[in-house]
Structure 1
Amino acid sequence: MKYIDGHMHLENGPLTKEYVLQFVETAHQKGLDEIQILDHTHRFIEFEPIYEGLKVHDVQKTWLENKKMKFKDHISDFVDLMKDIQAMDLPVKVKYGLEVCYVPQYEDNIREVLSMYSFDFIVGAIHSIDGILYDMSFSKELLWNQYDVNHIYQRYYDLVFQLIKSDLFTQLAHPDTIKLFQIYPNYDLKPTYQKMAELLKQHHMKAENNVGCYYRYNHPDLGLSDELLRIFKDNDIPLIYASDAHKPQDVGNFIQEAMQRMNEF
């Protein structure tokens, strides 16, 4: 079996070979065979229109206006850099793609931008619920303390289902990261998980077993929940293990442990 880290970001650094090679070096030191480098679409100028809906809340508007982090680069610069990296003789195989914030009302915009470039993979992610980010320091005030938890979960998975059905993506990012604050609905999620598994299989998508919530948000689950792991395994959903590293030293974090855990199911 290949030892792969399927999800890491350059967003905290420049688009340079020197910075990318820090990720490669850590991967090599940790015995990885392959890494997948991707950045959030909010890094790229071409994707700025799909974030308009978030700007109705001042705190989100301020977050998006941080030009040191947001909408500062062109996609072509990223693609050219990664092609140069792939042409190098490296100890670890490098693939590249994007993590796309999927918002249904901007699906045509997303499709149009993606059609202009070639990537090794495209990761789809849900980061907001009807215009409100769910995973930020301000999310409890804007979302979790304002809306019914059952409604939040139902909307999140409705959006995940739409993402899968769009056929824009090869990989589903962190399928149950909505749990990151350890706030849960009072209904059984297993039927939802089963429907998600069936859709993933129908649309030929991989799902991530992403450990980012574990070490970045101190969630007790080492990746996906036990229930979701069992359902994915029972439905033969292809999994890719992912650190969700946002800095070079986190590449490969807890990948081996997550793989060992999966073997226990």
Structure 2
Amino acid sequence: MKFDLHTHHFRCGHADGNIRDYIEAAIAANLQVIGISDHTPYFGSEEEQPFPHIAMGKSEIANYVAEVLKLKAEYEGVIDVLLGIESDYFPAHAEVYRQALAPYPFDYIIGSVHHVRDISIFNKNRWKKLSLEEQIADKKTYYEMIRDSAKSGMFQIMGHIDAMKGNYPAFSDIPAAKAIDDTLQVIADCDVAIEINTSGKTKLSGGWYPSDDILERALFYGVNVTFGSDAHKPSRVGDEWEEVRTRLKEIGFNEWVYFKQKRKVTVPL
């Protein structure tokens, strides 16, 4: 069974295409399950859409949910369309996000850390002039936030858990092995999944999130894994799905998962 749980569309302001485009792309790629998971609005402000090129406006989330559910019904029997969403994890606003998302019937919520110390993880300039000790501190904070998001109970999937390397490949070499191992143990204990996210190829780091090294350690800790292309254009739906499946089997995984009505569905590799 082929599935892709991480896709975006025009509402977030930095993706191409509408939801139907992604569903049709999934059908063309022979997927049986397609998850729609655009970025939540930014709920940490009273403004309708403080970041128009990053996230949808607050008034759009109801329209987003309604459109996905309408298309889910339309495509029933052709492809299983899942209602997901990708939510930032901001410790200061976690409860606001929890309450804002609670009314909607999401099949799953992806929890992603995109900011550390209020700076985007993809901002390569954040690393300039930092000492090694400061770099280690930032990396540890990143993984502490991922641990806290797993423990929050808000999410079924942890998004791209080493994406801080995206525009700064040297991130992978910053020593913080214990922080990563502690994070994988917490994720396993909380029974949430990590995604193999193939969008890393669109960044300076290339490759997938997370690295093979982290995936090998995830297997050791018993972490569930899932697949997400993180497609921001329809042509990337299901991108490198077969390659990821093959690599997971080489590492030693026997299965992966997706989520429906927030219940885990296990699929043999």
Tell me the CA shift for residue 243 of structure 1: 0.6
CA distance in structure 2 between the aligned counterparts of 1:125 and 1:226, rounded to whole angstroms? 20
Rounded to whole Å, the distance in 1 between the matches of 2:70 and 2:149 is 31
- The answer to whether the 8 Å contact 1:36/1:97 transfers is yes
Q: Does 1:140 align with 2:124?
A: yes
> What's 2:258 paired with?
none
In the other structure, the counterpart of 1:59 is none
- Written as runs of structure 1 = structure 2, the 5 A alignment for 1:1-265 is 2-11=1-10, 19-41=18-40, 44=41, 47-49=42-44, 64-66=50-52, 70-71=56-57, 73-90=59-76, 91-135=78-122, 139-141=123-125, 143-147=126-130, 148-180=134-166, 181-184=168-171, 188-214=175-201, 216-265=202-251
| Whole-angstrom distance in 2 between the partners of 1:69 and 1:160 | 20
Q: CA deviation at 1:187?
A: 5.1
Q: 5+ residue gaps in structure 1? A: 53-62
TM-score using structure 2 length: 0.81
Q: Tell me which residue corresponds to 1:57.
A: none
Secondary structure of residue in 2 paired with 1:219: coil
Judged with a 3 Å threshold, the aligned counterparts in structure 2 of structure 1 residues 238 and 50 are, in CA distance, closer, same or farther, namely: farther
Ranges in structure 2 where 5+ consecutive residues have no aligned partner? 252-269
Question: In 2, are the aligned partners of 1:9 and 1:40 still within 8 Å (CA)?
Answer: yes
Per the TM alignment, residue 5 of structure 1 is displaced from its structure 2 partner at its CA by 0.9
User: Match of 1:118, SS?
Assistant: coil
Q: Does the 8 Å CA contact 1:223/1:258 hold for their aligned counterparts?
A: no
Contact 2:139 2:176 in 1 (8 A): no
Greater helix content? 1
What letter is aligned with 2:18?
A: Y
Inter-partner Cα distance in structure 1 for 2:215 and 2:203? 20
1:102–1:125: 8 Å Cα contact kept in structure 2? yes
Aligned partner letter, 2:198? V
SS at match of 1:197: helix
Matched-pair contact (CA < 8 Å) for 2:139–2:174: no
CA RMSD of aligned residues (A): 2.5
In structure 2, how many angstroms separate the alpha carbons of the residues matched to 1:176 and 1:51? 31
Q: TM-score, normalised by structure 1?
A: 0.82
User: Is the Cα–Cα contact under 8 Å of residues 150 and 186 in structure 1 kept in the other structure?
Assistant: no
Q: Determine the C-alpha separation between the residues in 2 that align with 1:101 and 1:129.
A: 11
User: Counterpart of 1:246 in 2: which secondary structure?
Assistant: coil
Percent sequence identity is 23
